């Protein structure tokens, strides 16, 4: 029941390496290697991948980067897509039974957004029966890249069409969660992101081995038009504190009752937690503010992890605000005609922008309808 990890661009490769440094690594093949493919357009990034993980056949680089532009990434990916798909095909053959893919990439970088979108499209076209999960990282709110909002818009358009579940990771939110008073490093942000991802990667009692990711997909993103997902986690030695922090974190996600949640999964490290705290279910359910039409909106799972903690995955209407925070800026820039030549030189023209704005409007409408 294997999952093949595809880590794209600097952000994807860095998070991928952190995922694989877990003990035991979650994508292990029968021969001890990992079902992992690393893709970047800058050789220096791939140089960081240890030789044991970077088999010649599972890496791809096309010096010298995509300059933070979706269109450049997309056009470059077009030229190399056959080569990349051949690497993916070989990796599928190394698995016992491949059920799908987890792609990790940023929505702001040229390689992450462009290659990430193109590879997602090609995988879904060639292997329509397999699951495709995208872990897509939203940029920090300001100061990163003048065309970041365009990159997010155009990548979300493609992912909405071809992905089965889009796990939205917000660098700004993760940074704020960690902040306190001190400065937060990217390594700390990544550590938190990987900790949040454990709900997809860990084995737990209620689900067949290595199938957590596909079960979360079925529960959280069961409606194909509304398939985004937020993850969170709390780890402290005191389980009661973990429950309280989870409730607080979920409440923030629901805008303290402003947004509804379609569905969710909660993974606890404490097998007796539901007995110890019989109110856990009602506490979490209350803070999630679930839609009325879903009679069984949440599943509770247990892992036998030594580290005490709680992970959660929820599909919540608040996702719309996170996407709009970038795409509204894109709309303003688009009306002013700003930076459009960066895209037209790679044949991404106004009709693609118009269609992407339509997709985002449709996502907003579909969430409204599902959460009414």
Ligand X SMILES: Nc1nc2c(ncn2[C@@H]2O[C@H](COP(=O)(O)OP(=O)(O)OP(=O)(O)O)[C@@H](O)[C@H]2O)c(=O)[nH]1
Interaction of residue 65 with ligand X, rule CB under 6 A: yes
Which range of residues in 132-140, 203-211, 239-247, 256-264 is near ligand X by CB under 6 A?
132-140
Cβ-closest position to ligand X:
109
Closest approach of Cβ 101 to ligand X, in Å? 18
Compare residues 342 and 367 and give the one whose CB is closer to Mg ion.
342
78, two tokens: 């077009």
Task: Give the contacts of 81 (CB within 8 A, at least 6 positions apart).
Answer: 118, 119, 122
Compare residues 100 and 110 and give the one whose CB is closer to ligand X.
110
Compare residues 138 and 298 and give the one whose CB is closer to ligand X.
138
Rounded to an integer, what distance in angstroms lies between the CA atom of residue 32 and that of residue 35? 10
Rounded to an integer, what distance in angstroms lies between the CA atom of residue 260 and that of residue 372? 8
Interaction of residue 11 with ligand X, rule CB under 6 A: yes
Interaction of residue 287 with Mg ion, rule CB under 5 A: no
* From 78, 144, 191, 244, residue interacting with ligand X (rule: CB under 6 A): 144
- Measured CA to CA in angstroms, residue 39 lies from 12, 107, 196, 359 at distances of 8, 15, 23, 27
The packing angle between helices 212-220 and 186-201, to 10°, is 90
Interaction of residue 10 with Mg ion, rule CB under 5 A: yes
Q: Give the number of C-alpha atoms closer than 13 A to the C-alpha of residue 39, restricted to the C-beta side.
A: 31
* From 1, 22, 28, 67, residue interacting with ligand X (rule: CB under 6 A): 67
Closest approach of Cβ 112 to Mg ion, in Å? 8
Edge-to-edge strand order for the sheet containing 98-106? Answer: 59-61, 36-40, 2-8, 98-106, 131-138, 165-170, 228-234, 310-316, 261-268, 298-302
Q: Give the number of C-alpha atoms closer than 13 A to the C-alpha of residue 298, restricted to the C-beta side.
A: 24
Compare residues 39 and 371 and give the one whose CB is closer to ligand X.
39
Compare residues 17 and 280 and give the one whose CB is closer to Mg ion.
17
Residues numbered 159 to 218 that lie near ligand X (CB under 6 A) are 171, 186, 189-190, 193
Closest approach of Cβ 149 to Mg ion, in Å? 18
Q: Give the number of C-alpha atoms closer than 13 A to the C-alpha of residue 178, restricted to the C-beta side.
A: 20
Rounded to an integer, what distance in angstroms lies between the CA atom of residue 117 and that of residue 132? 12
Interaction of residue 151 with Mg ion, rule CB under 5 A: no
Q: Which residues bind ligand X (CB under 6 A)?
A: 9-11, 14-15, 40-41, 65-68, 106, 108-112, 137, 139-140, 144, 171, 186, 189-190, 193
């Amino acid at each position: 029941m294997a999952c093949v990890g595809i880590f794209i661009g600097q952000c994807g490769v860095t998070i991928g390496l952190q995922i694989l440094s877990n003990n035991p690594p979650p994508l292990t093949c029968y021969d001890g290697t990992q079902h992992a493919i690393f893709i970047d357009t800058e050789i220096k990034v791939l140089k960081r991948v240890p030789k044991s993980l970077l088999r010649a056949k599972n890496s791809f680089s096309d010096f010298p980067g995509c300059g933070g532009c979706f269109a450049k990434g997309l056009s470059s990916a077009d030229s190399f897509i056959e080569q990349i798909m051949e690497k993916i095909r070989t990796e599928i053959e190394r698995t016992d039974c491949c059920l799908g893919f987890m792609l990790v990439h940023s929505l702001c970088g040229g390689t992450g957004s462009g290659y990430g979108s193109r590879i997602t499209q090609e995988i879904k076209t060639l292997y329509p029966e397999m699951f495709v999960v995208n872990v897509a990282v939203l940029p920090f709110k300001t100061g990163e890249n003048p065309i970041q909002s365009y990159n997010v818009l155009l990548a979300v358009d493609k992912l909405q069409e071809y992905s089965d579940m889009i796990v939205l990771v917000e660098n700004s939110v993760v940074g704020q969660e960690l902040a306190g008073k001190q400065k937060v490093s990217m390594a700390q942000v990544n550590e938190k992101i990987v900790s949040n991802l454990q709900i997809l990667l860990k084995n737990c009692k209620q689900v067949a081995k290595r199938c957590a990711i596909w079960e979360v997909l079925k529960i959280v993103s069961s409606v194909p038009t509304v398939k985004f997902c937020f993850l969170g986690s709390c780890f402290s030695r005191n389980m009661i504190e973990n429950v309280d922090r989870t409730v607080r974190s979920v409440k923030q996600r629901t805008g303290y009752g402003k947004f509804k949640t379609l569905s969710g999964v909660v993974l606890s490290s404490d097998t007796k937690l539901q007995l110890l705290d019989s109110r856990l279910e009602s506490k979490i359910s209350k803070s999630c503010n679930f839609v009325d039409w879903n009679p069984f909106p949440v599943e509770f799972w247990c892992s036998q992890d030594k580290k005490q903690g709680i992970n959660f995955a929820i599909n919540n209407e608040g996702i719309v605000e996170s996407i709009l925070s970038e795409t509204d800026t894109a709309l303003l820039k688009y009306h002013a005609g700003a930076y459009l030549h960066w895209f037209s030189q790679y044949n991404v023209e106004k009709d693609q922008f118009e269609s992407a704005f339509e997709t985002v409007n449709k996502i907003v409408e579909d969430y409204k309808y599902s959460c009414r």
